[in-house]
Amino acid sequence: MTAETRAPFAPLGGRTPEEVFGGLATPCYILDEGQLRRNGEILAGVAERTGCRWLLAQKAFSNYDCYPVLAPFLAGTEASGLFEARLGFEEMPGKEVHVFCGAYRAQDFEELLRYAGHVVFNSPAQLAHFGPRARAAGKSLGLRINPECSTQEGHAIYDPCAPGSRLGTTRAQWDAHMTPELTALLDGLHFHTLCEQNSDALEITLGAVAEKFGDVLPRMKWLNMGGGHHVTRPDYDVPRLERCIRFAQAQWGVTVYLEPGEAWALNAGFLAARVLDLTENAGVKNAILDCSAACHMPDVIEMPYQPPVYGASVGTSIACPPGSSCACPTDAQCSSLHQYRLGGPSCLSGDLIGDYEFDHELRVGELVLFGDLAIYSTCKNNTFNGMPLPQIWRRSEDGTLEQLTAFGYRDFKYRLGR
């Protein structure tokens, strides 16, 4: 197996997965602190040059043992409700806590105010119901707006601007429900419309925000541009992002917040698994692993998303790989590649991670290393089928591996009853 240089595997420094992680019981996640720091440095550079303020959206990455690595680069955390707000408050001491929730529950709200400094509402009705109490507690209040500007196609579940969306207040809703008293409660506006996108999509969105809410924004102290900014991806256009931030600052005199999740932990984690069995059916070679798409990487099914695998390419090609020394005709199936459909051991037929091409035949017991699995994985997994939760390890910058969790049968059982 040749050394992998693709971004998700760069932290291995040219060593093989077996050399680096071979001693760990599988399946397990490994969080890479060096990559977290490198991502943090990129974001901090934008803040230094523009004066924007970065928040960590904890829904994507909330492995708080690693928060000290990110803390120097951010202004605070973003939460989706009470528990994440408390986590940010406890584990990022002294940092800002912002919360946005589609709708707050009355029984949570008082406690929420203990942790959050910024509270963002989804609708004028929620602002009217909870805003005065939050205001009296000295909180900075915001309203999520919906600029009705879709910049992604074929991904309706990740498009808060899709027609009929419940997320954010449209201009028509604003005009119908925002009284002067309600508007006076607000310090800021918030929009979240992107998903794994570049700054050209932000630029288009900002144009729609200016068109729909440009009259309101000069009265605000801050504008939160949400998440979905893939800033730490190699092809991300950082100068264009900085132009967008400066535009908002100059046009409306606002402090600009951004709250990505993915960008902080992109390519900063692995899932190590081993091959349990190899089967073949109607020409399809299946490799059954000790990890599961449905349980351990749910975005593979939900998003859908196919994670990179060390030493393998995604998909099924019919041409020989460039530069390969094989003698196959280029329009034929390349016989030097070995195609496998990777899947989990669960009962779900669709518990499939995807089709991959390896440069060698897989064998039972072999370690398969998935890259880019720090985000939306450890915070989103489950124990369907009684599947054990993979342990979580931390890999420090000096290569030291430290086990952070001790999941076992109890973690499966006590989610289900007494």
Ligand X SMILES: Cc1ncc(COP(=O)(O)O)c(C=O)c1O
Dist CA 413 CA 418 (whole Å): 8
Give one word for 233, left, alpha or beta, with left for phi > 0 and alpha for psi -120 to 50.
Answer: beta
| Residue 60 found at the interface with ligand X (CB under 6 A) | yes
| Smallest gap from residue 353 Cβ to ligand X (A) | 21
Residues 6+ apart with CB under 8 A from 307: 8, 271, 297, 300, 353, 370, 371, 372, 373
Local structure of residue 135 (DSSP, 8 states)? H
| Smallest gap from residue 189 Cβ to ligand X (A) | 13
Q: Which residue is nearest to ligand X (CB)?
A: 227
Choosing from 30, 75, 119, 195, the residue that interacts with ligand X (CB under 6 A) is 195
Residue nearer to ligand X on the CB measure, 192 or 296: 192
Identity (one letter) of the amino acid at 36? Answer: L
| Smallest gap from residue 43 Cβ to ligand X (A) | 11
Give one word for 315, left, alpha or beta, with left for phi > 0 and alpha for psi -120 to 50.
Answer: left
Residue nearer to ligand X on the CB measure, 4 or 196: 196
| Smallest gap from residue 84 Cβ to ligand X (A) | 11
| Residue 88 found at the interface with ligand X (CB under 6 A) | no
| Smallest gap from residue 362 Cβ to ligand X (A) | 32
| Residue 228 found at the interface with ligand X (CB under 6 A) | yes
Asked if 154 and 189 touch (Cβ cutoff 8 Å), the reply is no
Residue nearer to ligand X on the CB measure, 260 or 269: 260
> Which range of residues in 56-64, 84-92, 290-298, 314-322 is near ligand X by CB under 6 A?
56-64
Choosing from 12, 52, 56, 57, the residue that interacts with ligand X (CB under 6 A) is 57
Residues 6+ apart with CB under 8 A from 194: 151, 152, 201, 202, 205, 226, 227, 228, 229
Give one word for 90, left, alpha or beta, with left for phi > 0 and alpha for psi -120 to 50.
Answer: alpha
| Smallest gap from residue 131 Cβ to ligand X (A) | 18
| Residue 343 found at the interface with ligand X (CB under 6 A) | no
| Residue 186 found at the interface with ligand X (CB under 6 A) | no
Instruction: Output the CA angle 12-16-22, nearest 5 degrees.
Output: 100
Residue nearer to ligand X on the CB measure, 261 or 344: 261
Distances (CA, A) of 353 to 288, 308, 310: 10, 10, 14
Which backbone phi and psi does 401 adopt, to 5 degrees?
-105, 130
H or E, element range at 308: none
| Residue 100 found at the interface with ligand X (CB under 6 A) | yes
> Which range of residues in 3-11, 52-60, 268-276, 356-364 is near ligand X by CB under 6 A?
52-60
- Pairing status of strand 352-358 against strand 312-314: antiparallel
| Residue 395 found at the interface with ligand X (CB under 6 A) | no
| Smallest gap from residue 64 Cβ to ligand X (A) | 17
| Smallest gap from residue 327 Cβ to ligand X (A) | 45
Residue nearer to ligand X on the CB measure, 146 or 391: 146
Instruction: Tell me the number of residues near ligand X by CB under 6 A.
Output: 15
Residue nearer to ligand X on the CB measure, 225 or 337: 225
Residue nearer to ligand X on the CB measure, 27 or 260: 260
Q: Looking at residues 255 to 274 of the shown chain, list those that interact with ligand X (rule: CB under 6 A).
A: 259-263
Residue nearer to ligand X on the CB measure, 124 or 260: 260
Dist CA 170 CA 161 (whole Å): 9
Dist CA 405 CA 385 (whole Å): 21
| Residue 73 found at the interface with ligand X (CB under 6 A) | no
| Smallest gap from residue 298 Cβ to ligand X (A) | 14
| Residue 168 found at the interface with ligand X (CB under 6 A) | no
Which backbone phi and psi does 213 adopt, to 5 degrees?
-125, 15
Q: Helices 199-213 and 238-252, interaxial angle, to 10°?
A: 20
| Residue 226 found at the interface with ligand X (CB under 6 A) | yes
CA-based nearest residue to 264, from 82, 96, 75: 75
Dist CA 112 CA 364 (whole Å): 49
| Smallest gap from residue 17 Cβ to ligand X (A) | 26
Residue nearer to ligand X on the CB measure, 238 or 328: 238
| Residue 36 found at the interface with ligand X (CB under 6 A) | no
List of residues contacting ligand X (CB under 6 A): 57, 59-60, 78, 100, 192, 195, 226-228, 259-263
